Structure 1
Amino acid sequence: MSNPAPWHQRETQELLTEQAVDPSQGLSQDEVSRRLERFGANALQSQTRRGPWRLLLAQFSDFMVLVLLVAAVISGLIGDLVDTIAILVIVLLNAVIGFVQSWRADRAMAALQVLATAQAQVLRDGQLQTVPSPALVPGDIVLLEAGNQVPADMRLIDIAQLQVDESALTGESVTVAKQTHVLPSNSSKALGDQLNMVFKGTTVSLGRARGLVLATGMATELGKVAKLLDQDDRSTPLQNRLAAFGKRLALVVIGICVIIFVAGVWRGEAPLLMALTAISLAVAAIPEALPAVVTVLLALGAKRMVAVHALVRRLPSVETLGSVTTICSDKTGTLTQNKMFAEQLWVQGAAWLPGAPDPTPEVLEALRAAALCNDARHNPNDNSAEAWQGDPTETALVLVAHGAGLDKTQLETELPRVQELPFDSDRKRMTTLHRSGERFVGYTKGAPESVLACCDAQWATDGAQPLDSQAVIHQANTLAAQGLRVLALARRDFASLPEGETLAGVESQLQFLGLIALIDPPREEAAAAVRDCISAGITPVMITGDHPATARAIAQRLGIVTDDQAEVLTGQDLADLDDAALLARVAKVRVYARVDPAQKIRIVQALQASGEIVSMTGDGVNDAPALKRADIGVAMGLGGTDVAREASSMVLLDDNFATIVAAVREGRRIFDNIRKFIRYAMTGNSGEIWTLFLAPLLLLPIPLQPIHILWVNLVTDGLPGLALATEPAERGVMQRPPRAPDESLFANGMWQHILGVGLLIAALCLGVQYWALSTGHAHWQTMVFTVLTLSQMVHVMAIRSERDALWTQGLGSNKPLLGAVLLTFLLQMATIYVPVLNPIFKTQPLSLMELGICLGAAAVVGIVVELEKAWRRRSARRHAIA
């Protein structure tokens, strides 16, 4: 059995018969009860969520977290309560953050449910009743009027000037004029093109209607959005990298510690000493400060971003923006102003631009028609010229007339309206009749082809002129191809008020006045933001529910595409492509039009499957599923819906697309600083491991005591590591391409640096140890301890930039780090020269010469790192020349 045609392609009577309802009586109460039991409440449902305790326990299942908990237990057993407390605080902090993030989907669903809850006027048992919208069932007859929220998906039975704002669901910037006629079998299935249907969650902006409920609850288009939202969050690139890093690191460190223990015992060291040494090294080598440093970096970044009007709802998203390779943006309200403006007026074969001085009488008459054949009303509580209420197109017409010196309120006093023929979807035009002294004048506006069919001349101040209809149609098509909404204006004089004259008689023998083209223009700052994204190697992509021509025109104005023949993929095109075919197309397509929420997710998933890190921006309900599915969803805070904000990772408080550029810069800075901390911490840990691992192989005594290892871990991974969070962004951070999505944390020579400098630190420590032993210096262990600590302080200052020399940056450009290094130096000196601390740290005061040797050995690390950076700069210059 074949599937029935879509509702908008079937006759209303057929659907009424299928629903077994009389449109004049509605359903009986008994039938409503049966259908409510069968179909369920007209409300959005969400999957059962885990309870708070299960959510909280789930935060402790990560491998790295388990390793840290084991490290905390070991630290407590060997008496290092400071490390134990530090590790537990870090683990709890991360658990709380993860717990809070787990409620995001629930809150998004709650926002959808609020959006879906309203009252409805319904006909039941022949009586009009007001019922909560969750009580509606398929088959109900519902009455709608201006201001109502549509409570369910309905087929329209009869209408009167019905216009519906569907922007939250479809992304259309213009209200949609509805009709009741069945649409042809080859008509588009896009929601914005189903003109005889209205959908749950949209708003009636003008007129009234009666409709048949066909879908309720989760079966509605809004319900389908809710299903798309009900999915698990994706891990961010940073979370994936850190999880993989933590697992590998823990396994490697444990293996090395076992080898050190076995090697030490084999050489004759005391098993207890070697066990404590191996355990201490394991605790020290695993950078338990890493989660804390990452959290601090992200929190500071989030705080900095609030200053530029970006609110981070999920901390890891700050870093994710630094990884973004593609930004998929909704058009309406995100890249555009979500307000209609008149772009130009075409009168007597010439274009007149709004705001141009000295408009001709013909231009003024066309603008007079636009202002009077218009139902926009001035807000009585606002005296500004812009305070007009009504359809966005009509308010735009009032404003362009006002700019030319024609005030609608004054015009209505001079030419009061006495009769009107409202717009309807059959005629596609509207006519108003006005008293002009002893005579009357009629003004008509509407679709060009509809108005021109009623015109037989062109109006001019010196009398009627011949009308070239083909030239006008050609100009209208040219403007429409530029993404503009085009209306035609006409007029007719009457000696007396028409009475009893047919509709065709009033709207006949009109004189053409001109064409007016309108558009929802791009935000002024959006084009600059697009340029910045492109220069940063980020691909901007527009995904909208709007018309393809409009989408292409806006994309061209913004610089997203440069060719007026650039491919625009429509929702119908997407429906005809399987996943493999779409995957092959997404690399080239930059504009998608007439797409629905599920198709937006398909586009995001195809981009992700091709290796892209995807950001999705938007403001409507239709954007919410894609916002959640993207690697980072960015919602609009002023004009956006609660659903979009709750589904997003970040909210732009000023609805400024350009704010994303500042967020990307901050994300790149943060990831750079995370890499710097890992470079710093792992190089130091590598030096400690190599020192302890190689000493027995070189027949040297164990160079460090367990307390030394734990102290170095405390003072080096603590304040200096955290101070790296405040490191400013490096030069050219927005002129380099995004990181590859699968790029390792250790890419770009970092693992070689960790290994090489770690071996250098070990060589310096063991070299000092060998020299001290061979020359009879009894303080050799204290010297090794000091070299190990101070070399890491020199290292952290040198790696503040991967390319710029330390003297180019300046010592004072990161004052917190400089302060942390000086404090660490003083603490290290205290362990050596404060007598009461010597027995605790098993140290002895060093002579001036011994201290000088330690300082000189540590300085070698800085010299080598600066040579490495000089080599990088030289290589970069050679590459640029090539």
Structure 2
Amino acid sequence: MEHKPGHPEQLAMANESAPDSDLVQTPEELQAIEQQRALLNDVDPSTSDATQVAQLLHVNPQVGLSTSEAHRRLAQFGPNELASAPEVPKWKKFLAQFKDPLVYLLLAATAISLIAWIIEKVGGHAEEALPFDAIVIVLILIVNAVLGYMQEAKAAQAVSALSEMTAPTTNVLRDGKVVRIATTDVVPGDVLVLAEGDTVSADGRLFAAASLRIAEASLTGESVPVGKKPETLATAKALGDRTNMVFNGTSVTQGTGRAIVTGTGMNTQVGKIADLLSSTDEEATPLQKEMNHVSKILGIAVCAIAVVVLIALAVMEGFHTTQDVIDSLLLAVSLAVAAVPEGLAAILTVVLALGVQRMAMHNAIVKKLHSVETLGSASVICSDKTGTLTKNEMTVERIVTPSGEVELTGTGYTPEGDMVGMHGAAITDAVRREALATLATGALANDGELRQGATAGSWEVVGDPTEVSLVVAAKKTHADRAFERFQRAAEIPFTSERKRMSIIAKDTTDNGDLTVFAKGAPDVLLSFCSRISVNGAVRPITEGDRQAILHAVDRLSNEAYRTLGQAYRPLETARLSEVSGIKCNAAGQAADVAEQADVIERDLIWVGLVGIIDPPRVEVRDAVAEAHRAGVRTVMITGDHPLTAARIASDLGIIEQGGKAMTGDELDALPDEAAFDAATSEVSVYARVAPEHKLKIVESLQRQGNIAAMTGDGVNDAPAVKAADIGVAMGITGTEVTKESAKMILADDNFSTIVAAIREGRGIFDNIRKFLRYLLSSNVGEVFTVFGGVVLAGYLGLRQPETIGVTVPLLATQLLWINLLTDAAPALAMGVDPMTEDVMNRKPRKLTDRVIDGAMWSDVIYIGIIMAIVTLIGMDMHLAGGLFTDRSVGALGHDAQMVEARTMGFTILVFAQLFNALASRSHLQSAFVGMFSNKWLWGAIALSTVLQLLVIYVPFLNTAFGTTPLPAMAWLECIGLAAIVLVASELRKIVLRMMQRRRATV
């Protein structure tokens, strides 16, 4: 039997006259193809015979293009993609780093500083030969822009890598074989091989179709899927009525088909209206909204503080000169610089990108960076059974026939094994005959395919694993040879609603009569059977036969077998139109057989059933247990028999031993939404469910406040996957439609990968909170330092009685340097901090929970105050007339002493923030737990220390940043005072842990 699984070869047009694609080799012939393709646009392929379309594109529809020819056409016509906006030049991306209100503020500060220097220079009072403040601010802005550009480039590379991993693929016929290629590589003349769940990747002319229905709402607005047939249209019709054409961007909802590609990229119908399409801005995620909220709070707070300080200065000191006004404005700028962590947005993006890349390396491909926050909040995982919770290595092990039962040895997809009697018993001739007929029927009513692999002894599986298991079983027993004379003529595809499939095959060695071969869920298929085959003799089926079959189904299901029944029916004619009850078209030919399933799939003859085992994945039980510890509930939703579902679920720990599954019929029997919600809050295993049940279950769980993840592979799973908070598509068995609907793709189709992704998502979110705590507390510390230094200037010795004008405790350039030094490297290093051991021992966070909650704000304010106090104390210790010390001015005078004091405050603040980096790794856990686990953080601390030493001991940097070399004793003071930040944090954590333990015991 020439069997191309999943595709109705007998409906395919014979096109022996079409030239083989390998004949097209010269540039002249390629030019001819382009001309012919242009002719297609003028002629309209829908009104042209499929043979003519094939000839115009130099392709044999039965063979497809050769690989070399496809490569030539790809070079000739370009990739199959819509034109996108031209890439933004690198120089524009760099300049975009300056498009920020803070940068505008700093540029204003530069202008103010430059004007002040010019005024002093003209008046002959300038102490500096160059405007160092202005130069340093500009240089730091440039450095910050370079860092931001590099970080964004790194994040863009990560996103690009993820896009490549999730790039859509398409089945095409190349060199006579069905192969899966990147959608961008589809070229004119390719033969598209379409099946349920596929996204149509190009415009094409159908030449074969079986029950093909395509959703074209994205193109035509038609909400109901359109039935497709290969017949040539008599006249040109509107886009939605071109039933023999398929269009780029639409999706197959039912059936199979093949089409010759007539247009790719911008030459498709979607491409022609691409200019009219506008992308809608996506709603900001909770994390993005939180960052915007924080920025607003900081902006309002710093403006309020700046206004208060300026008013206080005006009242207390008065603005006597232009210099007073300039100094006051510079002070306001210093406060703004201190308050805002400049690199926050870039660091957040990079941390998310790096985390998502790590997840991708572990087979969890998250399509959008900000989906990570949702992933870490998952509270329910709704999972299919086959392939996700189990190995998806389906193996037929039992064959039950009317005369007995046998076992089939061998596992996996290698067609090696024997038929043996149960418990070593001999196999009778009747049982053997019936078993071979059962396997042969299953191999015929089948869309799976088993191919010899590239290496000896290897096998390649194409199609649904359950169907392939039947092909493997038939090959093991040579049952497939018994029906090689049959050739498929038509197909009634499997759907989730029908739970069965049938094919009509022609006997090529006899009189050409047609026979229906069917397989499906035994309880469903049995209802269409009126007869039974026993040892080759057909007789009416009795109620006793039915009960025996159903009892066998329950017995096998209870042993975790998936069961499939097999049946057939001779039509006793070579023409479908002659079958009683079949409707015909005007030409006397049978209409679409799928629409007449009720006539064809009746009076079937029961042959037997098979028990298929798919063992649970060993690692899934541990993953389910880990999810349970993390407060994440696992729900199994499957189309399998309830006993099979319950057995697998109990083995994996989803339910207790002896637990039961709820069926789709039982869900339908629930009286109202409240009863439905009550059921889903308790039940964790569902069997024999339809696609609409999956959607209802997800929506019910969401109504109860859950963050639901939903796995899916088929086109019917797409609505539930899309509705879920975290839609998860299968990377191996998943359809393109489902992958497009999902937010995450499992490259290995493994449930354990979902749990690992949730763990990683929680770790990423924890790290985001770590560096937010660090950045905000550090910047709040800078604000309090500047504010406290101005308000308490007279008490701390910052302003001497004879001092005229405003005294700023730290210069704007010093604050900028601190932010540049401590915001970038340490914050990025904290973004890759190892996960804590308790990451999966706590309940999921709610999406309504604030990223920066009250506990974090208390941390931020507390550390900020401590940081300001130790900084101002360090400055006070080096000033005359201070609160804690009263050093004499000395020979160098107050100005030199002020430079030394500022250098002390500057250095203390830098090291206080580096100690704060260690303290900010946890709200409760001691910094000394796993202190050296993050090598990147220690590297960042070392780098920041070296750069600070350069600013203090390199002469030209002394001038630029207003610093002076510090003596050895001063370093002891700096480190000692800065370390108080870590000590204060540890004391606070001890108190918080004690309070937590006390609450736990109450």
Same fold (TM over 0.5): yes
Residues in 1 aligned to 2:439 and 2:468: alpha-carbon distance in whole angstroms? 9
Alignment-derived partner of residue 364 in structure 2: 310
Distance 1:52 1:259, change over 3 A: farther
1:201 aligns with 2:252: yes
Residues in 2 aligned to 1:839 and 1:866: alpha-carbon distance in whole angstroms? 38
Whether contact under 8 Å (2:434, 2:536) holds in the other structure is: no
Deviation string 1:283-304 (CA, Å, 9 cap, x unpaired) is 2311121112112212221332
Residues in 1 aligned to 2:613 and 2:256: alpha-carbon distance in whole angstroms? 19
1:727 aligns with 2:833: yes
Whether contact under 8 Å (1:118, 1:151) holds in the other structure is: no
- Residue 301 of structure 1: which of 319, 344, 355 is its match? 355
Alignment-derived partner of residue 594 in structure 1: 690
Whether contact under 8 Å (1:533, 1:540) holds in the other structure is: yes
- Aligned AA for 1:595? P
- Aligned AA for 1:81? V
- Residue 375 of structure 2: which of 321, 324, 329 is its match? 321
Distance 1:458 1:531, change over 3 A: farther
Deviates more, 1:273-282 or 1:234-243: 234-243
Q: What are the equivalent positions in structure 2 for 1:405-554 lying under 5 Å apart?
A: 406-408=477-479, 412=482, 449=526, 454=531, 468-469=544-545, 471-476=547-552, 478=554, 484-487=562-565, 515-518=609-612, 525-541=619-635
Alignment-derived partner of residue 866 in structure 1: 986
- Aligned AA for 2:477? L
Whether contact under 8 Å (1:635, 1:650) holds in the other structure is: yes
Q: What are the equivalent positions in structure 2 for 1:263-278 lying under 5 Å apart?
A: 263-268=312-317, 270-278=324-332
Residues in 2 aligned to 1:470 and 1:395: alpha-carbon distance in whole angstroms? 27
Whether contact under 8 Å (1:337, 1:522) holds in the other structure is: yes
Residues in 1 aligned to 2:373 and 2:665: alpha-carbon distance in whole angstroms? 32
Tell me the number of residue pairs that the alignment of Structure 1 and Structure 2 aligns.
Answer: 735
**Matched residues, percent identical?**
34
- Aligned AA for 1:279? V
Q: What are the equivalent positions in structure 2 for 1:141-152 lying under 5 Å apart?
A: 150=213
- Residue 858 of structure 2: which of 727, 733, 752 is its match? 752
1:280 aligns with 2:376: no
Alignment-derived partner of residue 7 in structure 1: none
Deviates more, 1:568-577 or 1:610-619: 568-577
Deviates more, 1:801-810 or 1:853-862: 801-810
Alignment-derived partner of residue 684 in structure 1: 778
Deviation string 1:580-631 (CA, Å, 9 cap, x unpaired) is 99778765565593135xx867766665565444444333444456555554
User: 2:763 aligns to what SS in structure 1?
Assistant: helix
Q: How far is 1:472 from its partner?
A: 0.5
Q: How far is 1:368 from its partner?
A: 3.0
1:800 aligns with 2:921: yes
User: 1:651 aligns to what SS in structure 2?
Assistant: strand
Whether contact under 8 Å (1:342, 1:397) holds in the other structure is: yes
Whether contact under 8 Å (2:554, 2:643) holds in the other structure is: no
Alignment-derived partner of residue 368 in structure 1: 436
Whether contact under 8 Å (2:439, 2:470) holds in the other structure is: yes
Alignment-derived partner of residue 965 in structure 2: 845
Q: What are the equivalent positions in structure 2 for 1:121-160 lying under 5 Å apart?
A: 150=213
User: 1:323 aligns to what SS in structure 2?
Assistant: coil
Residues in 2 aligned to 1:431 and 1:733: alpha-carbon distance in whole angstroms? 56
- Residue 293 of structure 2: which of 200, 220, 244 is its match? 244
User: 1:823 aligns to what SS in structure 2?
Assistant: helix
Residues in 1 aligned to 2:189 and 2:639: alpha-carbon distance in whole angstroms? 25
- Residue 634 of structure 1: which of 728, 743, 751 is its match? 728
Whether contact under 8 Å (2:867, 2:912) holds in the other structure is: yes
Q: How far is 1:431 from its partner?
A: 13
Deviation string 1:378-434 (CA, Å, 9 cap, x unpaired) is 7577885966889866643454466xx73436x74xx99899999999999999999
- Aligned AA for 1:485? T
Whether contact under 8 Å (1:265, 1:274) holds in the other structure is: no
Q: What are the equivalent positions in structure 2 for 1:655-666 lying under 5 Å apart?
A: 655-666=749-760
Q: How far is 1:651 from its partner?
A: 3.0
Alignment-derived partner of residue 934 in structure 2: 814
Distance 1:254 1:484, change over 3 A: same
Q: How far is 1:113 from its partner?
A: 13
Whether contact under 8 Å (2:342, 2:819) holds in the other structure is: no
- Aligned AA for 2:866? L
Residues in 1 aligned to 2:704 and 2:461: alpha-carbon distance in whole angstroms? 47
Q: What are the equivalent positions in structure 2 for 1:822-841 lying under 5 Å apart?
A: 822-841=942-961
Q: What are the equivalent positions in structure 2 for 1:325-364 lying under 5 Å apart?
A: 325-329=379-383, 334-335=388-389, 341-342=395-396, 344-346=398-400, 355=409, 359=422, 360=425, 361=427, 364=432
Residues in 1 aligned to 2:545 and 2:690: alpha-carbon distance in whole angstroms? 31
Deviation string 1:533-586 (CA, Å, 9 cap, x unpaired) is 3332223445678888887776666555557445556799499967x9977876
1:776 aligns with 2:887: yes
Q: What are the equivalent positions in structure 2 for 1:212-227 lying under 5 Å apart?
A: none
User: 2:611 aligns to what SS in structure 1?
Assistant: strand
Query: Root-mean-square deviation (CA), in Å?
Result: 6.1
Residues in 2 aligned to 1:581 and 1:49: alpha-carbon distance in whole angstroms? 51
1:738 aligns with 2:738: no
Residues in 2 aligned to 1:545 and 1:471: alpha-carbon distance in whole angstroms? 22
Residues in 1 aligned to 2:711 and 2:486: alpha-carbon distance in whole angstroms? 47
Whether contact under 8 Å (2:621, 2:652) holds in the other structure is: yes
Whether contact under 8 Å (2:341, 2:823) holds in the other structure is: yes
Q: What are the equivalent positions in structure 2 for 1:598-609 lying under 5 Å apart?
A: none
Deviation string 1:160-205 (CA, Å, 9 cap, x unpaired) is xxxxxxxxx9xxxxxxxxxxxxxxxxxxxxxxxxxxxxx9715657
Residues in 2 aligned to 1:380 and 1:688: alpha-carbon distance in whole angstroms? 69
- Aligned AA for 1:799? S
Provide the TM-score with structure 2 as the length reference: 0.59
User: 1:806 aligns to what SS in structure 2?
Assistant: coil
Q: How far is 1:443 from its partner?
A: 14
Q: How far is 1:648 from its partner?
A: 3.9
Residues in 2 aligned to 1:632 and 1:513: alpha-carbon distance in whole angstroms? 43
Alignment-derived partner of residue 121 in structure 2: none
Q: How far is 1:796 from its partner?
A: 0.9
Deviation string 1:343-392 (CA, Å, 9 cap, x unpaired) is 64457999866549764315655533323445278757788596688986
Deviates more, 1:684-693 or 1:644-653: 644-653
Q: How far is 1:838 from its partner?
A: 2.6
User: 2:783 aligns to what SS in structure 1?
Assistant: helix
- Aligned AA for 2:141? T
Distance 1:879 1:515, change over 3 A: farther
Whether contact under 8 Å (1:782, 1:843) holds in the other structure is: yes
Whether contact under 8 Å (2:401, 2:435) holds in the other structure is: no
Distance 1:452 1:839, change over 3 A: closer
Residue ranges of structure 1 left out of the alignment (5+ in a row): 1-28, 34-47, 122-131, 137-141, 154-168, 170-198, 208-216, 219-228, 435-441, 461-465, 492-501, 504-509
- Aligned AA for 1:776? R
Alignment-derived partner of residue 261 in structure 1: 310
Distance 1:69 1:325, change over 3 A: farther
Whether contact under 8 Å (2:453, 2:459) holds in the other structure is: no
Q: How far is 1:459 from its partner?
A: 11
- Aligned AA for 1:867? L
Deviates more, 1:288-297 or 1:836-845: 836-845
